[in-house]
Amino acid sequence: MALGYVRPARPEDAGEIARIQLATWRVAYRRILPRHVLDNLDEEYLARRWSAAVQEPPSGAHRVLVAVEQAEQSYLVGFAASGPADAESLAPNEPAEALGSGVVAVTDLLVEPRWGRRGHGSRLLAASVDLWRSDGFDRAVAWAFDADAATRKFLTGAGWEPDGAARALDVDDMLVNQLRLHVAVPAEGAAEGDTAAG
């Protein structure tokens, strides 16, 4: 029986994180983003960015976690990245103070499709919540593509809800709609079902 766990990303994970990101985007977003945009993503460039995110995070509250599938061998199968909410977390024309203090933003939460439905996403989310709580955050936000039903279902199943904010990303002259979801970071001792989908 396969086992899974979550740990902080290490510098040597950057290449595998980039590979997982590309593989996942090319499957999950193939009907959402233009094909040539997905085909032209540069894995080495992404690996350099992930290396910097792991080795030189902007703050101690910026985190990159990886999910590991452990069978006869161990495989990195997903990752999550989050940090204090910033301008990228805001909706268009939303004032900088709109989210308030104590808000963390999820920038990435991906599990490679071939490793889906094995609890890795839930473990990543639960581990992130534990860290957010220890960092003093009381609310989390994440942007999701309107057309990304899987991500929206996963997050709403874990208690997240749309907060009313929306935006459209210009991806090579194609507007791609997103909505923002949010959730309260539960206090220590809250029921486990309040923080992660099963």
Q: What pLDDT is stored for residue 136 in this prediction?
A: 95
Average pLDDT over residues 138-151: 95
Q: What pLDDT is stored for residue 189 in this prediction?
A: 63
Q: Which residues contact 23 (CB under 8 A, 6 or more apart)?
A: 112, 113
pLDDT, greater one: 195 or 55: 55
pTM as predicted:
0.89
Average pLDDT over residues 78-99: 94
Q: What pLDDT is stored for residue 173 in this prediction?
A: 82
- 68: region left, alpha or beta (phi > 0 left; psi from -120 to 50 alpha): beta
Confidence of residue 191 (pLDDT cuts 50, 70, 90): very low
Q: Give domain 4-137's CATH number out of 3.90.230.10, 3.40.50.720, 3.40.630.30, 3.40.50.150.
A: 3.40.630.30
Weakest-pLDDT range from 97-101, 106-110, 157-161: 97-101
Tokens encoding 116: 């889906």
- Write the pLDDT tens digit of every residue in 165-190: 999 998 888 899 999 999 999 887 65
Domain definitions of the chain by residue range? 4-137
Q: Is the pLDDT at 42 greater than 80, yes or no?
A: yes
Q: Which residues of 176-191 are buried (b: 16+ CB within 10 A; e: fewer)?
A: bebbbbbbebbeeeee
**Mean predicted lDDT score pLDDT of the chain:** 90
Q: What pLDDT is stored for residue 196 in this prediction?
A: 36
